[in-house]
Amino acid sequence: MRLLALHGSPRKGGNTELLLQEALRGAQEEGAQVELLLLNELDIRGCQDCGGCTETGQCVIQDDMELIYPLIRSCHRILLTSPIFFLGVSAQLKAVVDRCQAFWCEKYLLKRPIPQPPEGRRGLFITVGGMHWAEGLKCSEATVRAFFRSISVPEHHCLGYLGADALGAIRQHPTALKEAYEAGKKLVKGGKG
Ligand SMILES: Cc1cc2nc3c(=O)[nH]c(=O)nc-3n(C[C@H](O)[C@H](O)[C@H](O)COP(=O)(O)O)c2cc1C
């Protein structure tokens, strides 16, 4: 079972990174083969809305998305982690989401959705916001929902936490780390996350 993890925080040892590690620990215990990409370390331009993918479903920009496209296409499970930045996902993750307009074109214009493998395709999104403002969860989850639909991941679960701002503050949350670990396990073996 191939699991692709795309981590959207630039902060080393940050709150979403701690949750990511727990989710991956759970997933690996269930036998997932993990490919983890730290998006902040990659060179990914924003979508140029050039129309280059409209007729082919292929993006024309040459950068590190060339590495990510085949991984998105072939994975069985996909884990996205991102802090809430200005009520949405981080720019690092949003760049990947927008560049998947190529998959949107392939699915909706060319009528060629990514085929479902026997294992199915399922997703998990984990996010943390520093404030107690639920709008951040709502907006980032809406972006992620549209993303998963475009890349033909029909089922996903979201785990969101608010009020954890300082580096490592999520450790003080009574259940977050355990929930991330359990969600990682369930992402691989099934159930509702
Ligand atoms: C540029 C920026 C924008 C932010 N915007 C929000 C926001 O809109 N809502 C919120 O709850 N927290 C916001 N935060 C706080 C982060 O979401 C919070 O510190 C989070 O724990 C960071 O996760 P990380 O440690 O995994 O990077 C913002 C932080 C930064 C640096």
Q: Model confidence over 124-148: pLDDT tens digits? A: 999 999 999 999 999 999 999 999 9
pLDDT per residue as tens digits for the range 153-190? 999 999 999 999 999 999 999 999 999 999 999 999 97
Token pair for residue 179? 């929930």
How far away, in angstroms, is 128 Cα from ligand 1 center? 7
164/166 Cα distance (integer angstroms):
6
How far away, in angstroms, is 15 Cα from ligand 1 center? 10
Residue 191 has pLDDT above 60, yes or no: no
- pTM, rounded to two decimals: 0.98
Token pair for residue 139? 């907006």
pLDDT recorded at residue 190: 77
59/122 Cα distance (integer angstroms):
24
* All domains of the chain in start order, with CATH: 2-189 (3.40.50.360)
Do strands 77-83 and 2-7 pair parallel, antiparallel, or not at all (unpaired)?
Answer: parallel
Buried b (16+ CB within 10 A) or exposed e, 131-153: eeeeebbeebbebbeebbbbbbb
Q: Is the CB of 81 under 6 A from ligand 1?
A: no
Any idea what DSSP says for residue 85? B
92/76 Cα distance (integer angstroms):
22
pLDDT per residue as tens digits for the range 79-112? 999 999 999 999 999 999 999 999 999 999 999 9
Residue among 180, 146, 23, 7 at smallest CA distance from 83: 7
Q: Is the CB of 135 under 6 A from ligand 1?
A: no
pLDDT recorded at residue 76: 98
